[in-house]
Structure 1
Amino acid sequence: MQPSSTPRRRKRRHVEHDMLNARHAIYVYKALCEQQQVATKMTFEQIATLYSDYANRAVSTELHPNDVMYNTGPSHYFNVGKSGVQAILTGLSLSWRSQVMTVLDLPCGHGRVGRHLRQLFPNAELFYCDIDAEGADFCARAFGGKAIHSKADLLQVDLPKKLDMIWVGSLFTHVDKRRTDAWLHYLADHLSDHGVLVATFHGYFTGKNTKFHGGVDEARVRREFETTGFGYSRYTTLAGVEDYGLSLSKPSAVLDIADTIPGVRASYIERGWANNHDVLVINKNDRLATLG
């Protein structure tokens, strides 16, 4: 007598059962996507295209006579700007932002990164923001965009709402933890759905290799860095500077702040900008969302 179920027939039933489960999972996934209107994650192919197109465009070499960042020389100046593009694309690759149409550069200075942003996002509306009004105005004129004159307290600055990309290159490296916390929350509140904030920090590497200047209390900064994860001291010998100085922050301290921002996801890359500054990425996509 033949057995009622051979091993081959049992295997076939298992395969058919697995296929039914897979079809059901796909159906549920599509239904959830339609229900929640999940954005499309930017693919690596899109990232590669963005970078390739950027690399084939000519970055402006127009300089402002007061651009102190250019004191390091043209090679370093333009390479740091290019590294900013790479940090931004890394942030986008971690997000669900499929296109970028509004960009804020804060603080823009005289365009070390801003000139690259214009070539990376040629069709985007760019906002250049700096407490140095001359720098913001220069960037808006030279690279195309709108200038925003900042204030000592960023919370008092009227920023555009619904920004797809916010680049913060070396702002939190010069303020204390209280302002870092408040300003990160404020900036995250100005992101569009699935918008991306890319901000830089002085981490372990910078702490080991930086040269303290401007009358900064180095012992205090290092002591606070070791004991609390976030050290800060204001400049005391630079004219015209109020409560602005130098900070060092551990990745854990920065992520602890990001953890308190609702409705976002955070990532951290050590030495992600110019092989020096650490990079925090905040994506306006709820960390508790079911999908996307």
Structure 2
Amino acid sequence: MKVNCFVEKNPIVETLIQHLARSPQTFQPHIAVADEMFLYQLDELDDRNFDQALVNYYSLGRTLFDSIQQIINWYFGSFERISSFLDFACGYGRFMRFLVQEMPTEKIWASDIYAEAVKFQTEYFGVHGIVSTRNPEDYQVEQKFDCVYAGSFFSHMPPRTFSLWMQKLYHLLNSQGLLIFSVLDETTLLPFTPMSADGILFSSKDSETQLLDRNDYGTTYVTETFIRELIDKISQNRAAIYRIKKGLGNYQDLYVVTPQPNQDFTRLNFKYHPEGYLDHCNVTPTGEIQLAGWAIDSNPNGCVEMVQILVNNEVIHQCQPSKERPDLVEYFQSSQAGHSGWSCSINSGTVTPPDIVLIKAINTAKLEWIIAVETVKNLMFRTRWREELATTRSQLKQRETQLEKTQSQLEFAELTLAQARDKLTKLETELGSCQFFLEQSTHEIQAIKSSKFWKIRIQWVQLRQALERFVKK
């Protein structure tokens, strides 16, 4: 099967693997050319930069794995104590490449509706494969599993298959098994988008795939009440359910379900990854490379311990976020983002343009977030390009605002003109009516003047005037 040609002998990928993989020497980095999760990452970038898409792809894969590993360690102790793991709707292995470093491949099953994706995973990673089906009732699997993981699957299922797939996956569990799945909560809905009364809202307009029917695979939002009532119905009120808000990638909610009704979840002390971004990379007049950005941590009582700057895998600088960022407080709606800004300088004499710079944030839970992996040359170019793009967008936004204002003024002027025209038309109509009545009155007066009565009246007036003059004499 064809693989992404930008992975092989790519120093960016090689550097990234040193920090993401448990065993960099045995890590399997190849990505299938048809991997929609990579293609989605690529399409999300304004400049469609392949290196940045690779960084996002691997980093998110590790972030997802870290989240699931916390749950596994709490429930089973470790991945090594699991006898059978099903990665359902697995795609081409964004998560799997990290899983196979933690447990034997003979204990792992990969299942997806794309037969080519299953083939890629069985051949490349050496795991078992199960080709999934469009309809849940056609998915016939006899084996039971210790753990079933369905990441970013139910966030795409329409109501007609959502419940059926949940039932199917729940009944694939062993008596002491664990079902882990993610959903889009109603809080992620766009503003002013109402949730349906039954607690599940499906849209066929938005989809990450270009191959599946959007009526079968779109975007789905649910409420916690809907999920709990569904699990209660499927398990006949015997399952224990636990929700981790935004537990998957700091975005989708994670749900943990087990047939053990008395399961205690209090020891599941789930921790979130930090987040961060590189805003600027500039050369100062003194020749130093100045880096600046932000890093935040959303864990209660947690913080970002440090931002590390590595060049060619060696730490050359580290700092702690402390600068005020009121813009991030507003964006994240969190006071923890108040002092999330950081900055540092690198002596340009200690680096060369081809050197690889890796920037990462580490929180008090020892979870890491890769902020950037780039050559020194490209790092400066890309940040400058982003700044120029941001400036251009800001200017465009201002022009759009001005245009909207001008358009509003024009619409007001057109409305005023239309009102004036209506008034003028009304006046013209009234004037026409007046002219009509004037002409009608003129005709009536002329008719009266030409009548015998009017002539006798004139003669009477004249006679009366003559008599009055005679009397006065």
Same fold (TM over 0.5): yes
* Structure 1: 4+ residue segments shifted above 6 A: none
Task: In structure 2, list runs of 5 or more residues that go unmatched.
Answer: 1-19, 42-52, 265-473
The AA in structure 2 aligned to 1:69 is: M
The two structures, once aligned, show a CA RMSD in angstroms of 2.7
Query: Are 2:45 and 1:63 aligned?
Result: no
* 1:160-179 map, 5 Å: 160-179=142-161
**How far off is 1:160 after superposition?**
4.5
**How far off is 1:249 after superposition?**
1.1
Q: Which residue of 1 aligns with 2:137?
A: 155
Q: Which residue of 1 aligns with 2:95?
A: 113
Distance 1:70 1:85 in 2: 16
Is the Cα contact below 8 Å between 2:105 and 2:125 reproduced in 1?
A: no
Distance 2:22 2:132 in 1: 33
Alignment partner of 1:281 out of 240, 256, 281: 256
Is the Cα contact below 8 Å between 1:127 and 1:148 reproduced in 2?
A: yes
Distance 2:163 2:74 in 1: 22
TM-score (structure 1 length as normaliser)? 0.68
Q: Which residue of 2 aligns with 1:231?
A: 201
- Partner-residue secondary structure (3-state), 2:163: helix
The AA in structure 1 aligned to 2:63 is: S
CA deviations over 1:124-163 (Å, ceiling 9, x no partner): 5211111110011101111111221111012311224220
Tell me whether 243-252 or 94-103 shows the greater mean CA deviation: 94-103
**How far off is 1:233 after superposition?**
2.5
- Partner-residue secondary structure (3-state), 2:202: strand
Q: Which residue of 1 aligns with 2:58?
A: 78
Alignment partner of 1:253 out of 214, 219, 226: 226
CA deviations over 1:242-261 (Å, ceiling 9, x no partner): 52221111222212212223
Distance 2:90 2:28 in 1: 15
Q: Which residue of 1 aligns with 2:118?
A: 136
Is the Cα contact below 8 Å between 1:164 and 1:196 reproduced in 2?
A: yes
How many equivalent pairs are there?
Answer: 224
- Partner-residue secondary structure (3-state), 2:197: helix
- Partner-residue secondary structure (3-state), 2:234: coil
Is the Cα contact below 8 Å between 2:146 and 2:177 reproduced in 1?
A: yes
Q: Which residue of 1 aligns with 2:44?
A: none
**How far off is 1:65 after superposition?**
0.7
Distance 2:147 2:168 in 1: 14
Is the Cα contact below 8 Å between 1:95 and 1:283 reproduced in 2?
A: no
TM-score (structure 2 length as normaliser)? 0.43
Alpha-carbon spacing, 1:160–1:62, altered in 2? closer, same or farther (3 Å): farther
Alpha-carbon spacing, 1:103–1:66, altered in 2? closer, same or farther (3 Å): same
Distance 1:165 1:173 in 2: 19
Is the Cα contact below 8 Å between 2:22 and 2:101 reproduced in 1?
A: no
Alpha-carbon spacing, 1:204–1:76, altered in 2? closer, same or farther (3 Å): farther
Task: In structure 1, list runs of 5 or more residues that go unmatched.
Answer: 1-53, 210-218
The AA in structure 2 aligned to 1:56 is: R
Structure of higher RCO (CA pairs closer than 8 Å, 6+ residues apart): 1
Alpha-carbon spacing, 1:57–1:193, altered in 2? closer, same or farther (3 Å): farther
Distance 2:244 2:263 in 1: 22
Distance 1:159 1:206 in 2: 34
Q: Which residue of 2 aligns with 1:6?
A: none
Distance 1:67 1:119 in 2: 20
Is the Cα contact below 8 Å between 2:206 and 2:219 reproduced in 1?
A: no
Q: Which residue of 2 aligns with 1:185?
A: 167
- Partner-residue secondary structure (3-state), 1:280: strand
CA deviations over 1:82-121 (Å, ceiling 9, x no partner): 2222232233355367721211111111111121221122
Q: Which residue of 2 aligns with 1:90?
A: 70
**How far off is 1:240 after superposition?**
4.8
Is the Cα contact below 8 Å between 1:234 and 1:246 reproduced in 2?
A: yes
Amino-acid identity (%)? 23
Distance 1:288 1:114 in 2: 28
